[in-house]
Each structure stands twice: as C-alpha cells, then as structure tokens.
DNA sequence: CGGCAATTTGACTATCCTCAACAGGGGTGG
DNA sequence: CCACCCCTGTTGAGGATAGTCAAATTGCCG
C-alpha cells in the first residue's frame, strides 16, 4: 500500500491533485523520516540535495551571520514544502523545533518528477507565491516595528497559524484562545530580531497589562485580542 | 510583428522558452506600459488585477504600517516578474523608481495562459523560488545587522545587481566600480529599516574611511571592496 | 532533594532615532 | 547668464529604545 494513502496532509500538501498512479510514482522516490527537536534536515549553504514535505511538527528555517547571530527566516508547519528544487544552494538551514515527520525526496528525483507533472509544479508555485507574500509581510515587522509591536504581531500570527482549521474541524469562537508555543524564548527572539531579554520583558508587560496570561513557559492565553491587535501596529 | 520579437528581456524573462506561436498568444493578451518615477502600478491590499514583466527600469515593492512607516520589501529589475497570479490580494504596492517599461497582463488572462503552458509556469516557479531565497537572505540583514553592516551589505548587493551581465556583454575587472543608485537616501533607509539620517551618516563615515567615494548624491564609487566586505558582517 | 538549563529581573550602556538647523545643487525665471 | 529657491541631503545635540552583562529565580528531570 502506498504511504500516501494514509498521509494526513494528503489533501493539503503539493501532492494534492495527483491521481493514484502518480502518487505511487512519487511515493516510490520518497521516504518518510522522523526528526527530533534540534535535529537538522540540512544546513545553510549546503548544496541542495533534498526537498521534503512536512507531515507533522514544526521546523525553522534559519540564517546565521559568521559571528553567530541567528535570524529565523521562516517557520514551516504540516503540509508545507521544504527545500530548493532546480539547483542552487539552500540559503538557510532547516531544523526541527518539535518532533517532526517529513516526507523526503532526493532533489534530482523530485526535479525530474516535477518536470513531468505540471499539476505538481502548479501546486508548488502557488505555495511558493504564498510563502513569498508571507515573508515580505514579515519584513515590515523586522524593519519597522518596535519590540512591543513585534511581540503583539507575533502572537496574533502564531495563534492564527496554530489554530488553522486542518480540514473538517469545526472552530468555535468562544472565550480566550490558548496556544502552546513550539518556540523557546530564544527562538522567539530569533524570529523577531530581538534579544531574549527584550522578549521576556515584553511578555511580562503584556501579562501585567492583562492582555495575555502565561500559564506555563510554553503556553500563552490571549485574554484581550483587541488589545493585542491595537499593539500590533 | 510581435512586440516580443524586439523585447530586450526576451531571453531572460519568464517568456524565455516559449516558441513563436506561444509568444504571439502571450503578446495578444499583454500590452506595454510606461511608468514615470513615483508612479504606481498597483497598491498594497488591492485585489490582484494585473501582473507584469519588467522590461526596463527599477521598481520598488513596499509595505506600509497604518501610521505611515514604510518598508521596501523588494526591488525589481529588468526581466523580473511582478504581481500575484492565482488569486489573493497583493500584500505590497509596486512603484516605479526610475522611468520604466513594463509588459502588463490582466491577471485572469495570465492565469489562464499559464495553466496551458507548463514551461511558463516552470520559469515562473524558478524565478519565484529565487526571489524567496533572496528575500529570506534580506531578513537576516533586517533582523540582525547593525547600521554599518546594513549599509555595506546594501552597497555590495546593489553593485552586483546593477552590474549583472545582461547577456553577451563582457565584464572587465579593472579598478573601482561606480554605480548610479536608483534610490534616494530615504528609499535606501526604507530598504534597510533605518532612518535617512543614519544612512547619511554611514555614507559619510565610509567616505572618510576611504572605502567609498561619493561623486554625486546618486553615485557611489567603491574604492575598497574588501573593506566593504569586511564591514558587511 | 539537588543540579541544570531556561527564563526573568535589574542596572547600565550603546546604538539608533528624533528634532532641529544648515548646506548644496539643480532647475527656473528674471 | 546668474540669482534665487526649493528639495534633498548632511550635520549636530539630546533622548529613548533595545542591547549587554550580571545575578536571581523558576521549573524540569533525574
């Protein structure tokens, strides 16, 4: 049996739209791989050997300066695509933040498969265009927003991303939303272009202001969404 | 005669690879348009109605906060593609920085044409992937680099972009490179996430250090490329 | 319970921003 | 052709935001 038949992102990833036979062929060149938190799928500057689909978990894409400063340039969730098809070296590393399942393909195999399946390329194009839009919106945050605006924007984005309906789930709009952050404070700092201390101070400030609650280090409960939106700039 | 036959970006834009008949069909749904500096092709948040190829000139993609702060999220040059095919609203405005020629298509027409021409979609995908890489590299600059590193990185990037071989030109590697900036100081600030004053001060500092010369407001001559690279972080 | 890492808090500092005044230079009109 | 003006850019002084360094605290895991 094809693994794809039981794949939970089957209808959302770029494989959506492929028929049984095509899926089988794609399945033949791919394999699933498990990653533990902190484990890297590949590194910045490395020749692009692999591409992958995220089945489960959260991963970061990150860029580093020579002297060790880090900027997280993207965060990928289930059904997202990872990697750089069609040559070139990857401009960033990919590292799991949680336990993760990815569906890995050799880049050359994938390139060849894509060349013969315009539907797949189309899905990938749509996804890439969306990712480019999202990335550009993030640039406004990095370049022009203050620490408090960054934190508020971050929380709003992460809530929407993590509570995104996965398919057939219902969403109720009742009361405070709680999210479990897949990020450490340091990682939040690396996403926002801040230091860990500034992130921490902004969190305690929002808590004192009654806008959020922090049940534990990895959880955030939004008590006043309008307040957050007002702070997001 | 098809306009495409005389198009100077014919072999570099996403139209490369189309045969005569296909080009004719594409030409039928497009038209060229001239833009003067400061003129916008479309605005942030507007429904995506148009897409275009840049034939000549330089344009900025920019995002603004409600209170008027601006971040330039991309700069496009001849042969680059502009716009958001396949639905969605554009997340940023597009404005000419110099006199510019663009080849404009209605989005719906373009979408339909693309759906029937996988080669075109493939070119567009490659271009979009490259743009995403470039954009992500820029995030490291915005989030983690100091003002002096930003300016140095900016100058290096702009030199490479503007002196890029266009096709059959030879490049000589002799002596100091001079570039004419298509940007005002304010625009440079909006690209780097700085203020105009900081940009100005960094320029004078680099000039005093003998790393660059500033023959006029819009020209930069690089006297010490290694020095710049050392400053770029 | 102890050890360790992550986070928070505090004090101080540096970088960059803000506000303000000044300079330069390109174009226009006399 | 030259003087003037306006816009862009430069320079300066002072201040705020976020960074740095250091110490205290939390909470997790054995």
Question: What confidence tier does A177 reach under pLDDT thresholds 50, 70, 90?
Answer: confident
Q: Which of A121, A139, A157 is the last residue of a domain?
A: A139
Write the DSSP assignment of A156-190 as a string of letters.
HHHHHHHT---SS------S-EEEE-SS-HHHHHH
Same domain, yes or no: A34 and A92: yes
Average pLDDT of span A117-129: 96
What DSSP string runs through chain B? --GGGG-TTTTTSTTTT--HHHHHHHHHHEEEEEE-TT-EEE-TT-B--EEEEEEES-EEEEEE-TTS-EEEEEEE-TT-EEE--SS-B-SSEEEESS-EEEEEEEHHHHHHHHHH-HHHHHHHHHHHHHHHHHHHHHHHHHHH--HHHHHHHHHHHHHHHHT---SS------S-EEEE-SS-HHHHHHHHT--HHHHHHHHHHHHHTTSEE-SSTTEEEES-HHHHHHHT-
Q: What is the CATH number of the domain that holds B164?
A: 1.10.10.10
Same-domain check for residues B131 and B175 = no
- Give tens-digit pLDDT for B30-88: 999 999 999 999 888 888 899 999 999 999 999 999 999 999 999 999 999 999 999 87
Residue A170 pLDDT level (bands cut at 50, 70, 90): low
Domain boundary among the residues A123, A139, A155 is at: A139
Inter-chain CB proximity A142 and B139 less than 8 Å? yes
Shared domain for B10 and B79, answered yes or no, is yes
pLDDT number for residue B46:
81
Q: Is the CB of B194 under 7 A from strand C?
A: yes
Indicate if B103 and B26 belong to the same structural domain. Answer: yes
**Domains identified in chain A, total number:** 2
Helices A147-162 and A185-192 cross at an angle (nearest 10°) of 110
Mean residue pLDDT of chain A comes to 92
- The SS3 call for residue A210 is coil
Strand C: which nucleotides have any atom within 7 A of a protein Cβ? 6-11, 15-20, 25-26
State the pLDDT confidence band at B130, using cuts at 50, 70 and 90. Answer: very high
Nucleotide closest in space to A185 (CA vs C1') = C7
Q: Provide the shortest C-alpha distance from residue B154 to chain A (in Å).
A: 14
Task: Tell me: do A177 and A119 sit in the same domain.
Answer: no
| Residues A51 and A160 reside in one and the same domain | no
Instruction: Say what the pLDDT of residue A90 is.
Output: 82
Instruction: Examine the fold and report which residue of B108, B139, B170 is the final residue of a domain before the chain moves on.
Output: B139
**Mutant choice from A46, A81, A136, A138 vs B, greatest count of B C-beta within 10 A:** A136
Do residue B25 and residue B123 come from a single domain? yes
Chain B residue with Cα closest to A116: B118
Average pLDDT over residues A173-193: 89
pLDDT at res. B91: 85
pLDDT at A112 over 60: yes
- Alpha-helical (H) ranges within chain A are 20-29, 107-115, 118-144, 147-162, 185-192, 196-208, 225-231
Pick from B75, B82, B38, B102: nearest CA to B158: B75
Give the model confidence (pLDDT) of B176-223 as tens digits.
789 999 999 999 999 999 999 999 999 999 999 999 999 999 999 999
What CATH number did the domain enclosing B19 receive?
2.60.120.10
Q: Is A146 within 7 A of strand C by CB distance?
A: no
Question: Are both B165 and B79 inside the same structural domain?
Answer: no
Same-domain check for residues B99 and B152:
no
Domain holding A158, by residue range, is 145-231
Measure CA to C1' and name the residue nearest C9.
A201
Q: Same domain for A87 and A180? A: no
- Cβ atoms B71, B190 nearer than 8 A: yes
Judgement on whether residues B175 and B155 belong to the same structural domain of the protein: yes
Are A157 and A195 in the same domain? yes
């Amino acid at each position: 049996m094809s693994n794809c038949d039981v794949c939970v992102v089957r209808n959302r990833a770029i494989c959506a739209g492929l028929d049984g036979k095509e899926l089988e062929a794609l399945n033949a060149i791919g394999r699933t791989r498990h990653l533990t938190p902190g484990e890297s799928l590949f590194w910045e500057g490395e020749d692009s050997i692999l591409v992958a689909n995220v089945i489960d978990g959260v991963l970061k894409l990150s860029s580093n300066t020579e002297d060790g400063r880090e900027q997280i340039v993207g965060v990928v969730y289930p059904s997202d695509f990872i990697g750089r098809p069609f040559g070139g070296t990857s401009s960033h590393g990919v590292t799991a933040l949680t336990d993760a399942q990815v569906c890995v393909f050799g880049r050359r195999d994938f390139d060849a498969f894509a060349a013969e399946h315009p539907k797949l390329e189309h899905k990938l194009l749509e996804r890439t265009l969306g990712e480019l839009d999202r990335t550009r919106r993030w640039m406004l945050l990095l370049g022009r927003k203050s620490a408090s605006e960054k934190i508020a924007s971050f929380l709003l984005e992460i809530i929407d991303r993590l509570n995104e309906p996965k398919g057939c789930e219902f969403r109720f709009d009742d009361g405070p939303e709680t999210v479990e952050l897949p990020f450490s404070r340091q990682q939040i700092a690396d996403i926002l272009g801040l230091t860990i201390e500034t992130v921490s101070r902004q969190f305690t400030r929002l808590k004192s202001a009654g806008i959020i609650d922090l049940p534990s280090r990895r959880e955030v409960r939004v008590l006043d969404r309008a307040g957050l939106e007002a702070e997001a700039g």
